[in-house]
Amino acid sequence: MYKIGKFAKLVGVTKPTLIRWDKAKKLLPAKRVNNVRFYGIAQLQEAKRVSLPDKHGMCKTRFYSIWSSMKDRVLNSNNTGYHKYGGRGINLCKRWHRFIYFKEDMYEPYLKHLDKYGESETTIDRIDNDGNYCVENCRWSTLEEQGNNTRKNVNFTYKGETKALTKWARDTGINHVTLYFRLNSIGMSIEEALETPVKPQIILHEYKGRKQTLRDWCNELNIEYNKVRKRITAGWLIKDTLETPIKVYNYRR
C-alpha cells in the first residue's frame, strides 16, 4: 500500500489531482485510515488509464451528449433531474465514468439502433428501472419502449380504449411530452389533452445577440440547412454549428 504522496510520485501527478479524482469518483483509494488515503497495485493500473486523455474526437456528437447527460444526472446533485436518478440511489458503474469505456460497450449497438429507428428514436434505457447504469442493465430503446418502462407509466382511458400515454402519443401523433405537460402541469382531462390541436412550434436560436429560426440563419449565412440541422440534432451549440466550416469533399474519378 502507498500513501497519497508516494502514490502521486509513482503515477506522475500531484496530490491535489489525486484528491480531485477521488471526489469525482474517477480513481478511488483502496482504503482510508483516519482520513489518510492508501493506494494499491489495482489503483496504480487504473491511474494509468485515468491519466490518459480521451482523444476520441466525439465531444460534439449526440452519442457523447447522451453519456454526459447520463453521468451528470446521476453524479451531480445540482442537476435538475438528480432526484429521479442519483438522489434515489441510481448509480453509474465505475467503468462508465470514462467515455472511452462507455463507447466501447455501447457504440456499436447505438449505431445499429440509429440506423433502424433514427436519432430521435434512439435513447438509452435501463432494463430494470430501479437498477444502475451499466452494460448489463442498459439498452437502446425507442421513446415508446422507454416510456412503457418508466416507474410512472399510467394508463388512460379515452372513448372506451385504455392505453399507456406513450401509445396514445404514437396513435394521435401528439408528442408524449406535450400530453404529459397537458395532463400534469395544466390539469387537462384526457379528452382535452388528446383533442386540443397542437400549435406549430417555432424554435428560435440566439446567435450574436439576435434570434432567428435555423433556416433563417442558414439563408443569411449561406450555409446548407440539412447539414446544419444534423449538427443541432447531434447536440452542437448554435455558435459552433454556424461557425465551424462545412467540409466539402471533391471526389476524383
45 with 6, same domain: the answer is yes
Would residue 36 count as lying in a domain? Answer: yes
Grid cell, residue 90, equals 441510481
Could you give the CA distance from residue 118 to residue 232 in angstroms, rounded to a whole number? 15
What are the C-alpha distances in Å from 142 to residues 83, 113, 249? Answer: 24, 9, 33
- pLDDT beyond 50 at 178: yes
What's the mean per-residue pLDDT of the chain?
82
Are 90 and 31 in the same domain?
Answer: no
pLDDT tens-digit map of 93-131? 999 998 888 988 999 899 889 888 888 888 898 887 778
Tell me: do 164 and 219 sit in the same domain. no
Q: How far apart are CA 214 and CA 227, in angstroms?
A: 11
Could you say which of 28, 50, 72 is where a domain stops?
50
Which one has a higher pLDDT value, 1 or 250? 1
Question: 3-state class of 207 per DSSP?
Answer: strand
pLDDT at 42: 80
- Report the pLDDT averaged over residues 172-184: 79
pLDDT tens digits, residue range 1-60?
778 888 877 766 778 888 888 887 878 888 888 888 888 878 877 776 665 555 566 777
Same structural domain for residues 90 and 28? no
Please count the structural domains in the chain: 4
Q: Are residues 164 and 121 in the same domain?
A: no
Point out the domain boundary residue: 26, 50, 74.
50
Residues 6+ apart with CB under 8 A from 77: 86, 87
Q: What angle do CA 34, 40, 44 make, to 5 degrees?
A: 125
pLDDT in the model for residue 56? 61
Q: Does 67 lie in the same domain as 125?
A: yes
End position of a domain, from candidates 147, 163, 186: 147
Q: What is the mean pLDDT of the segment spanning 164-179? A: 81
Contact call for residues 72 and 66 (beta carbons, < 8 A): no
**pLDDT at res. 185:** 62
Q: Is there a single domain that holds both residue 77 and residue 143? A: yes
The span from the CA of 70 to the CA of 84, in Å, is: 12
* Three-state secondary structure call for residue 184: helix
How far from the centroid of its chain's Cα atoms is residue 84's Cα?
15
The CA radius of gyration of the chain, in Å to the nearest whole number, is 23
Specify whether 82 is located in the same domain as 134. Answer: yes
pLDDT of residue 188: 84
pLDDT for position 70: 92
Both 142 and 75 in one domain: the answer is yes
165 and 175 in contact (C-beta within 8 Å)? no
Q: What is the pLDDT of residue 251?
A: 45
Say whether both 143 and 186 belong to one domain: no
- 99 within domain boundaries: yes
Please name the helix (run of DSSP H) or strand (run of DSSP E) that holds residue 59, with its range, or none. none
The contacts of residue 204 (CB under 8 Å, 6+ apart) are 211, 212, 213
Asked, for residue 249, whether it belongs to a domain, the answer is no
Q: Do 33 and 85 fall into the same domain?
A: no
Instruction: Let me know if residue 88 belongs to a domain.
Output: yes
What whole-number percentage of the chain has pLDDT above 90? Answer: 15
Report yes or no on 12 lying in a domain: yes
**Residue 133: pLDDT band by 50, 70, 90 thresholds?**
very high
pLDDT given at position 51? 59
**Residue 213 belongs to what domain range?**
205-243
